[in-house]
Structure 1
Amino acid sequence: MAEVDFYVLQGESAPEPQQFACRLLDTVYRRGLEVHVHVSGPQAARDLDDRLWSFSAGAFVPHRVVGSAGRAPVWIGWEAPAQPGEVLLNLSEEVPLFFSGFRRVLELVPAHGDGLRRARERYRFYRERGYPLRQHKLGGGA
């Protein structure tokens, strides 16, 4: 059964979600794990691809957008992968239908707005089905 981690970006000093996603991917990659990043569509994939090249001067996260040539430990796509893997980072607004094929699922919770509401819906979805949940609070304030 997949374990689900929610990264709650809260308060005035909350990290910007795309920047935090890049840092999280860097951490997971450095631990030697493969990650599928699920995004909402081709433009979101291109945006994250661009961001991964520039998020930190000293960091390099080998990645590729699904459909491009080659292999990398981090792959970015908007459809179900050919085969599940170790870690799924969900950056879309819905729970991907294929999430249960992964050992760990990582979810970001924005500080406010519609993204926060949708993250709460995803949390409820996993909780109601009995998946082990963890929360990691980042930033200050409530």
Structure 2
Amino acid sequence: MNRIDFYILPSDAPEARWHFVGRLADKAARLGHRVLIAVDNAEQAQALDEHLWAQPEDSFLPHRRLGDTDAPAAAVEITDSEQCGDHRDVLINLRTAVPSHFEQFERLAEVVIQAPEVLKTTREHFSFYKSRGYPVRHQQL
């Protein structure tokens, strides 16, 4: 793992988090990276999938659910399991737990909003990474 970034948003709205994730995934994909977005469950994966079809408003972000062989291949995929397919590039973690496969990725992004439950889990994630010696960067947005 080369880099862990915490992106700190001023909002407490879940939509702000997803909107930023869309922008971040879009930017990474445009730079030639493959992106895996990890969420807790199938309901979140479906909601994020629908959100990404509408965001970003000024461009199109091709994506699919991990393992969806009916959809065309895409640089951005969403997973609600511990599976990461052949992804090794960028992981955007929206889970309440640190994904077990996080070390396989070159970059890890944690997107933080000012909601109490998100702040609690991302503090735990920060402590987890720091206690294992990973360099962690904060970016206040």
| TM-score, normalization by structure 2 | 0.89
Residue number in structure 1 paired with 2:107:
104
- Aligned pairs, number: 137
Q: Measured at CA, do residues 36 and 56 of structure 1 come closer, stay the same or move farther in structure 2, by a change above 3 Å? A: closer
Give the partner amino acid of 2:74: A
- Secondary structure of 1:16's match? helix
Distance in 2 of aligned mates of 1:97 and 1:2: 17
Deviations 1:77-99 (A, max 9, x none): 11221333100000111100000
Residue number in structure 1 paired with 2:32:
32
Distance in 1 of aligned mates of 2:49 and 2:102: 21
1:73 to 63, 72, 75: 75
Structure 2: which 5+ residue stretches go unaligned? Answer: none
- What is the Cα-based RMSD across aligned positions, in Å? 1.8
Contact 1:2 1:101 in 2 (8 A): no
- Aligned residues: percent identity? 35
- Secondary structure of 1:122's match? helix
2:128 to 125, 130, 133: 125
Deviates more, 1:108-117 or 1:77-86: 77-86
Runs of 4+ in 1 over 2 A off after TM superposition: none
